[in-house]
Structure formats: structure tokens, C-alpha cells
Amino acid sequence: MLENFSFRTIVEYLPLFGQGLVTTVWLSALSFAGALAVGIVLSAMNLQRGRLLRVPAKAYIDAVRATPLLAQLYFLYFGLPRLGFILPELVVGILALSLNSGAYVAEIIRAGILSIPRGQVEAGVASGMTYVQRMRLVILPQAFKVVIPPLLGQAIVLVKDSALLSLISVAELTRAGQLLASDRFMPAEGFVTIAAFYLLLYYGLKGLAALSGRWLGSQPARSRA
Amino acid sequence: MIWQQLQSLAGSYPLALRGLGMTVMLSLISLVLGTLIGFGLGILRNGGNWVVSGAIGTWVDLIRGTPFLVQIFLIFFILPEFGIELDAFTAGIIALTNLAACFICEIVVAGIRSVPTGQVEAALASGLSRWQRMRQVVLPQAMRIVLPPLVGQYVLLIKDSSVVSAIGLTDLTRVGWLVVQRVPNGLLVFFLVGLGYFIVCYPLIMLARRLERRMGAAHGEVQI
């Protein structure tokens, strides 16, 4: 049983957990920014009529979605040095998370843009707008509203996925739990604590998603203005 | 040099087959168990009892809020402290089944809620029992909403099964990790590992897309 569950050790290791938490937060934030960049480029490619850009984007998205993140992580971790890129584990991890989440972000953005009724585009055309004007003034402002909640959902997935970076020894939150397990033979204390920290992040992001939903939902419709 | 590596890779194909077998076994067992438990939980969650429903909701939220890797570690390292001795395989099955059940529960709940109340009322008026109502009226209609994300969930499950390599199970990903120690070509080795997963997962992704179009579901709960 857990009668010798040691809160004392948890408190003693709190700075380590704190550092891990901070690392998890900023590496997730950085990876999410990377994922947005990758996703925007991919979705733009994917929405083209020409096959030259669309086919590679689709192939990339399918390849990422049909293989596990851990295999992708190892692919970069063991593969990049062979190509002559010797990068720190942390950079490899952020790269893997960005490239992986980017594929999902691309699908979210594409779905958001495609959710705008055709009539909107046609109205733009009829008003004599150029392609860029239509995108900037008509489609993107509306798609933005649709895209925010699923993007926050993807951010939650990304934070949880970042735990896998501990397997290539990045010193993030899960790694802190592993250290407690291996140094002090206290796996219960270590993993229960980090689970609590992850839940903190989860409920934070979930609250943000709910808030954004309410905020976006209550915005006055622009078309009526 | 590349020739030597290919030969060396060809030599490790029995290991690769064993790894693939392990991945398929893990996924299949937890897929079946997870679906059964997930449907059970989903139906209970929608049942009248708020204690049961609240408990399930809380559990599902806890599982959705923590990384799968942490869940595996918790199960593998902490259940033994309660006197339950586990080998890595059982721990992996428990972790995967639990994960699948929780996500499928959410999918089933969404499906059941999508059935119009008029249908339930009509069933009530026809004098159907609770069980008959569920089995003959609600579930068949809910399946339309449930099926596409369910298949998507199976893809997630197969992919998540790679994480159990962290507690030493020799699945496909672990085999790649072992082989790369001998054949120092990470690109090639993990390309092949990825190919293994792709062959299993891609048809399922296509199936999910087709179902989604056919069932006319606006959007699924889970993205693959």
C-alpha cells in the first residue's frame, strides 16, 4: 500500500518539478508556434487547385497522421545526425512536435476555411474583390472564429505529447518524475505529482477554450454591420 | 556500406515481425476491450444516476488531462504497491484499454445525445423497456454519429500503443530502437518502422473519412 507516501520528498523535489513544468510550458508554446507556421503553409498548399503543391502537402499530412509521434521523434533523433545535423535533444524535440502538430493544425485550418459558405466567396467576387481581398476581408475573419476552439484542443494534445520528449532525455516535467523514480525509488510520488501538474495545464487550457468559445460566440455578426 | 546495412536489416526481420505482432496484439486486445467498456461507460454516463455519471465524467477528464506516458508509468509502478503484480504486457493492456474506453465513452455520449428526444419519447410511449429503448431505438441511430470518430479512435490507439515501448515491451517502435543500435541508419530504420504503422493505420484513416462522408456527420469528436 501507499502508507509511506512521502509528501516530504515531493516538497524537497519541488524546485525540480517547477523547472520541469516551466520547461514543458515554454517548449510546448514554442512547438505550438512552430506548428501554426507549418500548418498555415501546409493548408495554403492543400487549398491550391494545382496538384504540384497540393499532392505533397496531402502526402505529408497523411504520413504524419498514420504514424506514431514516438516513431517520428526517433526518426529525427537518430536520423538527423546522419544527415550532418547534430542538434541538442531539446531542439530535436521541439522540431518533432512542430512538424507533427503542424499536420493536424493544417487540417483544422483547412476545415475552418472550407466551412465558410460558398455564397460569401461569390459575394466577394461579385463586389469586385481580388483574391487577396476576399481572403483577408471575407474568409479569414470568419474562419478565425471557427478555428480557435479546435486549435486550443490541439494545444492540449501538444502539451500531453511533449511528455514523450522525456524518452530522448529532455529535462521536462515527465523527466522530473522519472528522476524521482530512479534516484529515490519513489515512482508513486514522482508520477502522481507530475500528473497533477499536467492536470493543472489541462484545466487551464480547457478553461481558456471555454472562454474563447463564449467570447467568439458573443461577438456581433459582422455581416449585419 | 548501404548494402551492408540493408543486409544487416534483412537479418533482423524476425525481430521486426515479432515487434509488429506485439503491436497488433496490444492494439487488438485493447481495441476490443476498450470498445466494450467504452460503450458501457457511455450508456451509464447518460443514465439517470448522477453519482455514477459524475464519477465516470471525472475519471474520463483525469485520463484526458494527463499524458499517456505518465498513465503507463503510474499503472506499471504504482499498482504493484497495492499488491497487484503486473508484467509489462498486462500493464500495457490495462493502460491502452483504459485510454480507449475513456475516449470511446465520450464518443458514445455525444452519439446518444444526438438522437432526438422525440425518438426516446416515442419508444417510451410504445411501452419499450429501458434496455429495449437503448438497443432498438437509441443506439442504432447514435451509431451514425459514433462510427466515424470510433474508427479514428482506433487509429489513435494503434499509434499510442507505441508508447508502451517505454516500459520495455518489444513492439514495433522498440524494435526500431533496438535495431538502430546495431545498424546506425536512423532514417532508414525508422522509415521502415513508420511504414509498418502506415500500412495498418492508413486504410483505417481512409475508412474513417469514407464513413464520415457517408454518414453525413458534420464533424467528429476526435481528429485522427
Separation between Cα atoms, residue A32 and residue A26, nearest integer Å: 10
Q: Which amino acid, B30?
A: S
B168: left (phi over 0), alpha (psi -120 to 50) or beta: left
Taking CB atoms and an 8 Å limit, are B176 and A74 in contact across chains? Answer: yes
CATH of the domain at A115: 1.10.3720.10
| List of residues 6+ apart from A98 with CB closer than 8 A | A31, A33, A34, A35, A37, A38
Which grid coordinates are listed for B35?
470498445
In a domain, A1, yes or no: no
Collect all residues of chain B within an 8 Å Cβ-Cβ radius of residue A163: 67-70
How far is A28 from chain B, CA to nearest CA, in Å?
13
Q: Quote the ipTM score.
A: 0.88
Q: Which residue from A minimizes the CA distance to B195?
A: A67
Residue A83's domain comprises: 7-219
Q: What's the sign of the alpha-carbon dihedral A196, A202, A205, A206? A: negative
Whether the CB of B103 is below 8 Å from some CB of chain A: the reply is no
Collect all residues of chain B within an 8 Å Cβ-Cβ radius of residue A174: 67, 69-70
Taking CB atoms and an 8 Å limit, are B70 and A70 in contact across chains? Answer: no
Residue-averaged pLDDT of chain A: 88
Separation between Cα atoms, residue A147 and residue A4, nearest integer Å: 48
> Is the confidence at residue A4, as pLDDT, over 50?
yes
For A66-87, what is the mean pLDDT?
91
Domain count, chain A: 1
pLDDT tens per residue, range B123-179: 888 888 888 888 888 888 888 889 889 999 999 999 999 999 999 888 999 999 988
Separation between Cα atoms, residue A89 and residue A107, nearest integer Å: 28
Alpha-carbon separation of residue A214 from A148, A207, A210, A221 (angstroms): 11, 11, 6, 14
Question: Do B193 and B175 meet the contact criterion of CB atoms below 8 Å apart?
Answer: yes
> Is the confidence at residue B218, as pLDDT, over 70?
no
End-to-end CA distance of chain B: 38
Quick one: pLDDT band at residue A224, thresholds 50, 70, 90? very low
End-to-end CA distance of chain A: 65
Whether the CB of B58 is below 8 Å from some CB of chain A: the reply is no
pLDDT score, position B156: 93
Taking CB atoms and an 8 Å limit, are B67 and A81 in contact across chains? Answer: no
In a domain, A202, yes or no: yes
In a domain, A17, yes or no: yes
**Of residues A66, A111, A150, nearest to B197 (C-beta):** A66
Going by C-alpha positions, the residue among A21, A7, A19 that lies closest to residue A200 is A21
> Is the confidence at residue B91, as pLDDT, over 60?
yes
Which grid coordinates are listed for A111?
476545415
> Is the confidence at residue A3, as pLDDT, over 80?
no
> Is the confidence at residue A221, as pLDDT, over 60?
no
Superfamily of domain B2-215: MetI-like (1.10.3720.10)
